[in-house]
A and B are shown apart, each in its own frame.
Chain A
Amino acid sequence: MAETILVLTHADETGSVLTTASLEAVSAGKELAAWLDASLTIGVVAAEASSAARSLAGVGARIFGVSGEAFAQARYASDAAACEALCKAAAATIVLTTGSSRFARVAAGVALRLGGCVDTHVTSIRCENGVEVSRWFYRQRIEAVITRAKRPWILLLDAGTYAPFEGGVEDVKVEQVAVALPAMRTTVIGMRSPELSAQTIRPEAKMLFVAGAGWTKKQSDGQVHAGEAGELILNFLSNTGASLGSSKSLVDQGGDGQPVLPFLTHMNQVGQTGSTPRHAKGLSTCCHGEEPHVVGWRFIGDRRAISLDPNCGWARGKADVVYVADAFKVMARVNELLAGH
């Protein structure tokens, strides 16, 4: 069956530039179209699609756009209508898009409206016996390859699995697609950051620093040093630009009335019931490296750990290097050295 491929993209918070994850989906679309010798179309959802599409110069595909103030914000009713209209305009059989919060919210609804199917968290696509995609099950504990005959098939790609498309930046021809919007009952007010002293979640950072519950346990002097631990961690993040992750046990401590690091929320949680980030390097501290934690490290490349326990889970083939040492002392010295750089 001849396939028609559509890549759905959206603008970032500024409204005038496509997100990095969208450009990754464009790369995936170009690769798949070349494999299948299929036609490729790019769909852009933005307040002003023509501006956002400028980063698609040289893409070698038709570009459809949905524009208007209603599409400046991520909202189910308007985004689902926009994506549905773009899929119909492109007569797409395979739709690639980003698993961003914006499109992950609407993709399944769009698939249902089109009479198609949807799969998410796709990490690779191959064309051996038709189109086959890889994704993870049981929170990154089992990897499977799946295929479907039903079309249209919407695939949401996990961020970081393809290199972003790099074309020129110039005006491109965008064919505007009209969208019939239903009555809007939801108004997006804006973004809100947690009421914290520092923004610690940085998806674009090269490094992930994970704090485990050991930071708030009694130390060798019999005392808890949560304040000192917080200072050491924040200094390290400031010195390196790293993103901060946490074990579940640490973020849950607040609810149990135990000492907590005030800048941690459930959004920092990494692991089986938290996020599975993608950073080039990861440093685990005071975390014992058992399976539910390490699941969150599945896509972290270079891994090191600091632990007082030489037999912790990290030492069993999960980290590249495990330092058997006191993280308080090591990180204090690391911060001194980094500050002197």
Chain B
Amino acid sequence: MELHIVVCAGIVPDPLQTLEPVMGPKGPALKNEMMLPAVLDPWAASSLYEAASLAAKNPGSKVWLVSLGPKAKLQQVMMTVAQKVSFELVAIDAPVSGFVDAQATAAVLAEAINGLAGLEKAKLLLFGGWESATRGAGVTMQIVGELLGISDQFMGVDQIEFLDDGSFEVLERVEGGKHQVSVCAGAPALFGWATGNLAEPRNNPQIGMANMRTVMPALQKAKAVSVAENDLQYVSASLPKQQRQTRVVKDMAVDAIARELVEWVGAK
């Protein structure tokens, strides 16, 4: 079965970086944002690896990676990502801060996907993260799906498994550490991935070299777009200031610590 898998994946500051908001004329941004090293959004990266795995199992399938961000930062991230799995990059040169409106971002992504040459919507599986590590809104993919007319949407996905008739079973995370199990008739469908079950692929220089033949031209011709600000206004953006007066307990006997903890835990 041939699948056309489009992965939407943004870039985010490396999680270990110190983040500090600064207010600019267009609202908040991160201090020294362009200097911060970036990585592919964790959940979206997971969806990319799942897409590649699925494409490998279904000969004739194709994976597009649609990514919106400042061109220079995209290039930096793609140097690593391109060594993991095969894909065709569709780069869009635009601001990517977590403070950019998710709804406006979705509109830009949907337009780019609509313009993909050779994409057949009857074969389309739209992949992305269920949330991003920046705005964390969990709304971008749903809006892209709506704009593309996809009404079979799944969020917090950890697994999909194709059945013989072309339908697939999907596991979505729900409350209480459980999965909701659904069966969908087939493509087109949208999947907002959680972490899934696949480990991160190891770097493969051969895949990297093959990908780079298309990645660099894609970056060079990346269309610069401005993401509409809509009506979103920021009243403030700040770091939480909670600081606790930590009591560091040294040289206390194990039994005494245990008794103190049991008292603290309280009744079952």
Contacts of B250 in A (CB 8 A): 310, 324
A83 within 8 A of B: no
B222-256, CB < 8 A from A: 230-240, 243-252, 254-255
Contacts of A194 in B (CB 8 A): 177-179
Interface bits B146-158 vs A (CB < 8 Å: 1, else 0): 1100011111101
A186 contacts B152, C-beta separation under 8 Å = yes
Given contacts A109-B143, A136-B136, A142-B239, whether A193 and B265 have CB atoms under 8 Å apart is no
Contacts of B259 in A (CB 8 A): 337
- Write the nearest CB–CB distance from A257 to chain B, whole angstroms: 10
B125-145, CB < 8 A from A: 133-140, 142-143, 145
Contacts of A337 in B (CB 8 A): 258-259, 262
B261 within 8 A of A: yes
Q: Which of B146, B177, B184, B248 contacts A322 (CB 8 A)?
A: B248
- Write the nearest CB–CB distance from A320 to chain B, whole angstroms: 6
A146 contacts B234, C-beta separation under 8 Å = yes
B182 contacts A273, C-beta separation under 8 Å = no
Q: Can you give 9 A-B contacts (C-beta < 8 A)?
A: A77-B152, A121-B137, A139-B133, A145-B234, A239-B268, A310-B250, A317-B244, A323-B261, A338-B262
Q: Which of A138, A148, A185 contacts B19 (CB 8 A)?
A: A138
B152 contacts A101, C-beta separation under 8 Å = no
Main secondary structure of the interface of A (DSSP, over half): mixed
A191 contacts B181, C-beta separation under 8 Å = yes
Residues of A within 8 A of B (CB): 74-77, 80, 100-102, 104-109, 111-113, 117-121, 129, 132, 136-139, 141-150, 182, 185-194, 199-203, 206-207, 239-241, 255-256, 265-269, 272-273, 281, 283, 291-292, 298, 302-304, 306, 310, 314-326, 329-330, 333-334, 336-338, 341
- Write the nearest CB–CB distance from A191 to chain B, whole angstroms: 5
A138 contacts B139, C-beta separation under 8 Å = no
Contacts of A202 in B (CB 8 A): 176
A146 contacts B151, C-beta separation under 8 Å = no
Residues of B within 8 A of A (CB): 13, 15-16, 19, 21, 28, 42-43, 98-99, 103, 106, 133-140, 142-143, 145-147, 151-156, 158, 169, 171-186, 194-195, 199-200, 230-240, 243-252, 254-255, 257-259, 261-262, 264-266, 268
A sample of 7 more A-B contacts (CB under 8 A), given A118-B137, A273-B133, is A142-B28, A200-B177, A315-B248, A324-B251, A326-B254, A329-B254, A338-B262
B142 contacts A105, C-beta separation under 8 Å = yes
